[in-house]
Amino acid sequence: MKCSICGGKAALKMRHHHLQLCKDHFLEWIPQQTERFIKKYRMFTHSDHILVAVSGGKDSLSLWDVLCRLGYTADGLYINLGIDGGFEYSSQSRQFTQQFAAQRGLKLHIVNVEEDYGSSIPDLARSSHRGQEKPCAVCGVSKRHIMNRLARDLGYSVLATGHNLDDEAAVLFGNTLEWKIDPLTRQGPVLEEKDGLSRKVKPFCRFYERETAAYALLRGIPYVYDECPFAEGSRSIYYKELLNRLETGRPGAKLIFYLEFLKAKEAGAFSTAAFPEEAGLSPCPGCGQPTSTNGLCSFCRMVGKSEIPAS
C-alpha cells in the first residue's frame, strides 16, 4: 500500500476518499482538512479566542494540537467529573491533559465538579431523578453548563469540541430514527451564539474516529485509551455499532449520511415552522444561563436537588 502523494509506505487507507497516506502526509492532511472545514463552515478566524473542551481523549487532544499547529489562539478547558470506574478514569484523563498542556506551554483551565458543586458527577447522578440508572444525562447537562459558564466568564468567543464524524452520525441517526425534527435540524458543525449561550463549533466533525485516533498515535500524543466506564451499553454506542456495520458494507456511508444531511438542511429541506422551539428562553435566577423553565435551569435544580448550593 503506497502513499497517494509520495509513493512511500502508506500508514492509513481512507477508502471513502480513495486516498492512502504515509505518516508524514497524513499528519499534514489532517490540519489541511481541518483548516478547510473551519473556513467552509465559517467556524472562527485567527482573531478569535478559542476555548477547547479537552477530555484527555484522542479527539479533543488532537483537535487542540491541530488548532495550535494552524496558529489559532486556543486555550483548554478540562472538567474533572470525578469518575473512577475502577481505573481512575478522571484522574488519568486529567493527567494526560495536563501533561499535553505543560509540554507545549498552553493555558489550561481546570474545573473540579466536586470542589465547585460539592459532589462528583456519579454522586450528583445518584441523588437526581435523571441519573438513577446511568449518570450520562446528568454529566451532559453539567458539562454543557460548565463549558458555557467558563466561555462566558472568561470572555472566549467560541467553544470548540472534539466531536468526530462517528459521534455526529450517531446523534443524527438517533434523532432520525424517531424523526425528532427540532434537534435534528439544529445539528451541524456550528451552533451559533444564542441567548447568552456560547457559539459552539466542531472542527473534526468530518473525520472518522479512526482518523483522529491515527492522528493522535502517529503524532505521539498520549491519551486515555479507555472509554468512560459509564458509556458501556449506551444508546450512542449501540448506534455507532449499527453505523459501523453499514460502513463495512458501503465505505463512506457514514460520511454520506452526515454530509447529505447538511446539504439537505442548507438547501431548505426541513421546515421547523410546525415544530416551534420550546417557549422563549429566560435567564436562570440561579446561574444566569438561559433556560426554558420559569424557575431554575436543569443544572441548578439538579445541584439544588442534592441540597448543594450553586456556586
Interaction of residue 279 with its own copies, rule CB under 8 A:
no
User: In terms of CB distance, is 273 or 294 closer to its own copies?
Assistant: 273
**Total chain residues near its own copies (CB under 8 A):** 26
Interaction of residue 307 with its own copies, rule CB under 8 A:
no
Task: Report whether 138 contacts 128 (CB < 8 A).
Answer: yes
In angstroms, give the least distance from the CB of 257 to its own copies: 5
From CA 274, how far away is CA 291, in angstroms rounded?
22
Interaction of residue 278 with its own copies, rule CB under 8 A:
no
User: In terms of CB distance, is 273 or 279 closer to its own copies?
Assistant: 273
In angstroms, give the least distance from the CB of 262 to its own copies: 9
218 closest CA partner among 63, 12, 37, 36: 12
In angstroms, give the least distance from the CB of 266 to its own copies: 9
In angstroms, give the least distance from the CB of 125 to its own copies: 23
In angstroms, give the least distance from the CB of 246 to its own copies: 6
Other CB atoms within a 10 A radius of the CB of residue 43 amount to 22
Return the bridge partners of 110, or none. Answer: 78
Q: Which of residues 62-121 bind its own copies (CB under 8 A)?
A: none
User: In terms of CB distance, is 86 or 233 closer to its own copies?
Assistant: 233
Residues contacting 131, CB < 8 A, separation 6+:
124, 125, 137, 138
Instruction: Say whether 92 sits in a helix, a strand or coil.
Output: helix
Can you tell me which residue has the cell 447538511? 262
Beta-strand (E) ranges in 19-115? 19-21, 49-53, 73-80, 108-112
Task: Report whether 162 contacts 204 (CB < 8 A).
Answer: yes
From CA 108, how far away is CA 95, in angstroms rounded?
12
Other CB atoms within a 10 A radius of the CB of residue 213 amount to 18
Interaction of residue 171 with its own copies, rule CB under 8 A:
no
User: In terms of CB distance, is 87 or 275 closer to its own copies?
Assistant: 275
Interaction of residue 178 with its own copies, rule CB under 8 A:
yes
Residues contacting 241, CB < 8 A, separation 6+:
none
Interaction of residue 277 with its own copies, rule CB under 8 A:
no
Interaction of residue 208 with its own copies, rule CB under 8 A:
no
Q: Which of residues 235-274 bind its own copies (CB under 8 A)?
A: 238, 242, 245-246, 249, 253, 256-257, 260-261, 263-264, 267-274
In angstroms, give the least distance from the CB of 76 to its own copies: 35
Interacting residues with its own copies (CB under 8 A): 176-179, 181, 238, 242, 245-246, 249, 253, 256-257, 260-261, 263-264, 267-275
